[in-house]
Amino acid sequence: MPEQQPGVAVIGGGVAGLATAWHLENPADGARCNCRVTVFEAASTAGGNLRTEEAEGFRVEWGPNGFLDSEPATLELARAIGLGPDLLRSRDTARRRFLYVRGRLREIPDTPARFVKSDLFSPGAKLRIAGEIAVPARRDLGLAAERLETDETVWAFGARRLGRAFADTMLDPMVRGITGGECRRVSLAAAFPRMVELEQRYGGLFRALIALRRHRRRQPGAATGGPTGVLTSFTGGMSRLPHALLAGLRGEVLTGRPVSSLASTTAGWTVTAAGRRYGPFAAIVDAAPAHAAAVYHPHADARTLLAGIRYNPLVVIGGAWRRDDVPHPLDGFGMLTPSSEGSPLLGVLWDSSIWDHRAPAGAILLRAMVGDPAWLDRDDADIVNQVAGEFEKIFGIVRKPLQYWIFRHKMAIAEYEVGHLARLARLDRILAETPGLFLTGSSYRGIAVNHCLKDAVRVADAVRAYLERGGNA
């Protein structure tokens, strides 16, 4: 009977919280849901960063552009909530990616022959990159990366294995584009664990590439576990995912309820949100960002650890033009800029080249990302003017946009700095002593939508196991 079901409170109605709530209600083994889920969301609508705006035939993403189809948890969830027919693969042209280097767009070579011909790197830098095959592996990393003293930044790893030119030209813009952050701060083991694994297992990246190719040839279709996959979204945009999750949830989703405190009582957990106390709940899934959880987490040391997880700001500027007003062919995914270029733009996504259904016929849609916190306070006209100037330089666009959209994310994406895994290990130890409280979301074990959806399965399973044990740790 519903009255006897233990209550589970999920804090944060972003994709991580909604997916965890959905998995709690829909166990993979087909068992009946034995809990009552209540989602507390601070904003007036749920969905978090997954929001799609529609205007006059343009479909503009507020946050994520898409996800790689290589994570089974995402595709399985999408199909289970009825989004199978709505899945949208990016166009083949979107495989081409560009860097804005030394004042012009240059394509990132995707084959050895193109790499040799490319003017991205000097002959010396190319030799250094090719020499990666002879660089010995650093054996003290790997699983020991949980220890602060052996953690390594993405830049240090790149410079060690492929040379400084590669780290500055390729890894710096890639990390800026993914996290809005700094590759000289980001932990390789926390943000790109697969790279650590490849070095440890195969002795280096080229060695790994060769071994994995050989493996694929011997066993076609075998999973390599590499970061491959096709960029995918939904015909209606990324907001389809939270909308379908919301439609499928049986529990309550309370919007406009920012959680301000959590307390453990003898009857269970209580949640205070928007000045009212709710509960008791048998378990709490905290899927709000770490900077929010840092305010109300019941354990003082955990609050300090959570507050230390850095978040970078992002301003997303969408612009629509008539196709004829844009001289550049825009035949690719988009471009990134290394910080050495001095551009305010982290990169530009060529949305209407990547996807169908993003712009009406005869028009194009571009989205630029800026990571400078000062831009959060600039007015719209000022932002549009400066971006227009950059677009003239890069794409030769001289006309004003037909329309523009500006989305300001004060705390956009977590940056997993060196020491992140050690921080997580400490948080896990505190959680082990705080029965019934679980953490998930993009602050911890992966910043992408795929990571959130994979972790949602892990956490829902852990909560169910906890409830089955009668609520004992």
Ligand X SMILES: Cc1cc2nc3c(=O)[nH]c(=O)nc-3n(C[C@H](O)[C@H](O)[C@H](O)COP(=O)(O)OP(=O)(O)OC[C@H]3O[C@@H](n4cnc5c(N)ncnc54)[C@H](O)[C@@H]3O)c2cc1C
Complex with ligand X: residue 216 or 291, whichever CB lies closer: 291
CB of 104 to ligand X, least distance (A): 25
**348 touches ligand X by CB under 6 A:** no
CB of 254 to ligand X, least distance (A): 9
Token readout for 46 is: 């749920």
Q: Name the strands in the sheet holding 67-68, side by side, starting at the edge strand that comes first in the sequence.
A: 67-68, 231-234, 87-89
User: Which residue has tokens 């042209």?
Assistant: 93
Among 8, 9, 10, 11, which residue interacts with ligand X (rule: CB under 6 A)?
11
Complex with ligand X: residue 193 or 203, whichever CB lies closer: 193
CB of 76 to ligand X, least distance (A): 16
Complex with ligand X: residue 302 or 316, whichever CB lies closer: 316
**271 touches ligand X by CB under 6 A:** no
**15 touches ligand X by CB under 6 A:** yes
Complex with ligand X: residue 43 or 211, whichever CB lies closer: 43
Complex with ligand X: residue 58 or 206, whichever CB lies closer: 58
For the chain, the first-to-last Cα distance in angstroms comes to 25
Q: Are 321 and 298 in contact (CB under 8 A)?
A: no
CB of 406 to ligand X, least distance (A): 12
Contacts with ligand X, 360-399, as mask; x by CB under 6 A: ----------------------------------------
Contacts with ligand X, 395-424, as mask; x by CB under 6 A: --------------x--xx-----------
Distance CA 284, CA 435 (A): 9
Query: Would you tell me how many other CB atoms lie within 10 Å of the CB of residue 376?
Result: 14
CB of 161 to ligand X, least distance (A): 26
Q: Name the strands in the sheet holding 268-273, side by side, starting at the edge strand that comes first in the sequence.
A: 259-265, 268-273, 276-281
DSSP 224-250: ---S---EEEETT-TTHHHHHHHHH--
Instruction: Find the residue with minimal CB distance to ligand X.
Output: 14
CB of 126 to ligand X, least distance (A): 30
CB of 416 to ligand X, least distance (A): 12
Among 26, 38, 65, 187, which residue interacts with ligand X (rule: CB under 6 A)?
65
**50 touches ligand X by CB under 6 A:** yes
Binding residues among 220-249 for ligand X as defined by CB under 6 A: none
Query: Which of these segments, 27-35, 69-77, 190-198, 282-290, binds ligand X (CB under 6 A)?
Result: 282-290
CB of 224 to ligand X, least distance (A): 20
Rg (CA), the chain: 23
Query: Would you tell me how many other CB atoms lie within 10 Å of the CB of residue 198?
Result: 23
Query: Which of these segments, 7-15, 185-193, 395-403, 427-435, binds ligand X (CB under 6 A)?
Result: 7-15
Query: Which of these segments, 13-21, 28-36, 189-197, 207-215, binds ligand X (CB under 6 A)?
Result: 13-21
Give the residue from 355, 326, 332 showing the smallest Cα distance to 58.
Answer: 355
Paired strand residues for 105: 100
Q: Are 462 and 471 in contact (CB under 8 A)?
A: no
User: Which residue has tokens 């492929």?
Assistant: 162
Complex with ligand X: residue 352 or 450, whichever CB lies closer: 450
Query: Which of these segments, 45-53, 105-113, 151-159, 429-437, binds ligand X (CB under 6 A)?
Result: 45-53
- Rounded-to-10 torsion of CA 199, 203, 204, 207: -130
Which 3 state secondary structure label does DSSP give 399? coil
Query: Which of these segments, 14-22, 109-117, 144-152, 164-172, binds ligand X (CB under 6 A)?
Result: 14-22
Give the residue from 421, 377, 385, 422 showing the smallest Cα distance to 401.
Answer: 385
**449 touches ligand X by CB under 6 A:** yes
Q: Are 336 and 176 in contact (CB under 8 A)?
A: yes
User: Which residue has tokens 């169908």?
Assistant: 356
For 413, residues 6+ apart whose C-beta sits below 8 A from its C-beta are 178, 179, 180, 181, 311, 312, 314, 442, 447
Q: Are 2 and 13 in contact (CB under 8 A)?
A: no
Give, for 334, the enclosing helix (H) or strand (E).
Answer: strand 334-336
Among 173, 258, 318, 401, which residue interacts with ligand X (rule: CB under 6 A)?
258
The CA–CA distances, whole Å, from 327 to 63, 169, 241, 360, 397 equal 27, 26, 35, 18, 7
Q: Are 41 and 249 in contact (CB under 8 A)?
A: no
Distance CA 102, CA 215 (A): 39
Query: Which of these segments, 5-13, 96-104, 214-222, 375-383, binds ligand X (CB under 6 A)?
Result: 5-13
Among 6, 7, 48, 334, which residue interacts with ligand X (rule: CB under 6 A)?
48
CB of 271 to ligand X, least distance (A): 9
Binding residues among 284-343 for ligand X as defined by CB under 6 A: 287-289, 292, 314, 316
Binding site for ligand X (CB under 6 A): 11-17, 40-43, 48-50, 63-67, 258-259, 287-289, 292, 314, 316, 409, 412-413, 441-442, 447-450, 452
